[in-house]
Structures are given as structure tokens and as C-alpha cells.
Amino acid sequence: MAHSTDKIADHISRCTLLAMLLEVSAYPKPGNIHRTADFLETRYEHFLASTVAVVPHFKYAAKKGIIISTQNFDPANIGIGAIIKETVLDINLWQHGGNTLLGTILLLLPIAVAAGKAFVDESFSLTVLRENVKTIVESTTPLDAVNVYNALSIAKPGGLGSVQRFDVTDPASKKEILDNQVSLFEVFKIASKYDSIASEWVNNYHITFDLGFPYFTSALKETDDINVATVHTFLKILSEIPDTLITRKVGLKKSKDVSAQAKLVLEKGGLTNTEGRDMLWSLDKHLRNSTHELNPGTTADIIAAVLAVVILNGYRP
């Protein structure tokens, strides 16, 4: 083993930390908090504090990935749900701005575990990372599902709505999950129809790896500007994948309208020219209101995952 497990875990936690910091700092990500815009109750510094809170949990998750290889550890015993819940608890201890990173940690913690396994095996590549992520999420248990439901209750994210089966807001759901031995992955299969984060789990991070990563890489090569590449990748994903947080709040039609506006901004050049910049800032203002009905928050979470993969793959700003 070329590096100690502590060094590997520390490396992975720093990569995920940088991804979260770059994501929230990118501006203007229309309708989202960024370095030049806040919501009334949640501000940029709440996100910064949250990223500080999650670092030890990502390091712990990476170590779990390491022991899968070094100790022939069963991925089903990782306890990813418990890690998610503990991370959310720590986030609330470090800031008072409400839910900041729930969607992001749901996406990034499996990546951290997967990266731990890849780096300790000295076999890191995007293909191996993705294969490991698939193993991690498909090995989840009913207890993981219950712990994620507990995490949701703690974080209190907006736009949950209600569903027919395994409703997060129904206290009976956790008992039903345990009684029927329904894994977190199986719960996310159901949720994938109306939530892009669940869909990423179920479809092996399709948006992250197949759309976000190659587009970001191309945009960065073309512009040599991390902020431009990040914002343009945000617009690209939003233009092709209607944000499911918006959809759950105000319906698919309005969500598709937002996607069409993002596509138009990108077609006009986005941050690379005056017309595109003016349109982008106007879109940011349009999507930003006190109810946050048009906040593309799920797209922002996916951008954090894209950046994590980019940074784990070697990129440094």
C-alpha cells in the first residue's frame, strides 16, 4: 500500500470539501445561494459552516471504503444511512440557517466511500470509481433507509410533498420499511421517479458522470475559468434535466419553463459575453423569491457531485 489509510481518507475528505466550497461559491447560479446572493433565512456563510461540519464524516466514509478492501468488509455493513444522519446532526450544530447540504451529502458520501476503496486498491479511475459507487448504493439496508428518513426529519428540507408509499412525513413508513425489509436503494428506486438525487443513486450517477463531468471538462478547457465552467455546467444540466425540487413545489410545466430559460442563456453565451451575462443575472433575479419555489436546489447538489468527481480525478483550481 503506497499511502497510509489516514492519508487516503484525508485526501478524499479534502477533495469533497473543495467540491462543496466551489459549488456554493460559483456565481451566479440562478435561483441559488452563491457568493454574491443570500436567502433571507439562509446565507452563504451557513454553507461555509456546513462544509466545515461535514469534513470528519467524509473522512470516516472514505475509511469505510478502505476497509472494504483491506479487511474484506461487507459493503452492506458500512452503515451509510447512519453516516448521513450523523453528518446532518453535525451540520445543525455548526450553523443555524436550516437545511444546507442534505442533497449534496446524499450524493457525495457514497462517492467518498467508493473513492476510499479505489485509492487503497491503487486502481483509481472514473470507471472504477463509478463501479464502486454502484456497489455501495446497491448494498444499502433497511436500517440505512430508516436512518436517512431520520436525517430528513432533522434537516427538514423543503418541497418534500407527499407520496403514496414510504412517505417521509408519515411516521409509519419507518416501521413498514423494517417490517418489509426494504433497503434504502429500493426506497430510492421508488423516489427516482420524482427526485433526481434518488435517480442518480438508481442510475449509477448518470447525470454526474455522463452529462456533468464531460461538459464541465470541455467548458474548463475552453474558458480556463473554474467559475464559468461551474455555472455553465449548472445551466447545461438544468437545461436538460428539469429540476425536481422545482417540479415538486410548483409542477413540471414551470420546471420545464426554467429549463428552457437556462438553455437560452447558455445559447447566448452565458458568462462569456455581455448579452449572456445580462440574461443570466436576470434569470437569477427571476428565480429568486421569498418562497424559493423556483430554486433549482437539486441541480446545485448534482454540481457538487460533478466537482467532487473532477477533483478526485486530479483537477486543482
Q: Is 115 exposed, middle or buried (0-12, 13-18, 19+ CB in 10 A)?
A: buried
Chain Cα centroid distance, residue 149: 17
Whether residue 248 lies inside any domain: the answer is no
Percentage of residues in the chain having pLDDT higher than 90 = 90
The answer to the question of residue 210 being in a domain is no
List the end-to-end C-alpha distance of the chain, in Å, as a whole number: 28
How far is CA 129 from its chain centroid?
16
Instruction: Let me know if residue 38 belongs to a domain.
Output: yes
pLDDT tens sequence across 80-122? 999 999 999 999 999 999 999 999 999 999 999 999 999 999 9
Query: Does a structural domain hold residue 132?
Result: yes
- Cα–Cα dist 7/280, whole Å: 41
The pLDDT assigned to 2 comes to: 44
- Any domain includes 217: no
Give the pLDDT confidence score for residue 174 in this predicted structure: 92
- What local confidence, expressed as pLDDT, does residue 240 receive? 98
pLDDT in tens, 133-187: 999 999 999 999 999 999 999 998 876 666 667 888 788 899 999 999 999 999 9
- Tell me whether residue 184 is in a domain: yes
Tell me the C-alpha to C-alpha distance, in Å, between residue 215 and each of 137, 198, 238, 266, 317: 25, 22, 13, 12, 17
Give the total number of structural domains in the chain.
1
| Domain membership of residue 17 as a residue range | 5-205+301-312
Does residue 47 belong to any structural domain of this protein?
A: yes
Domain of residue 142, CATH code: 1.10.4200
Q: What pLDDT digit, counting tens, does each position of 242-264 carry?
A: 999 999 999 999 999 999 999 99
Q: Is residue 221 part of a domain?
A: no
Nearest to 213 by CA among 115, 113, 310: 310
CA angle at 163 for the pair 161 and 169, rounded to the nearest 5°: 60
Query: How many DSSP H helices and E strands does the chain contain?
Result: 16, 0
179 Cβ partners below 8 Å, 6+ apart?
none
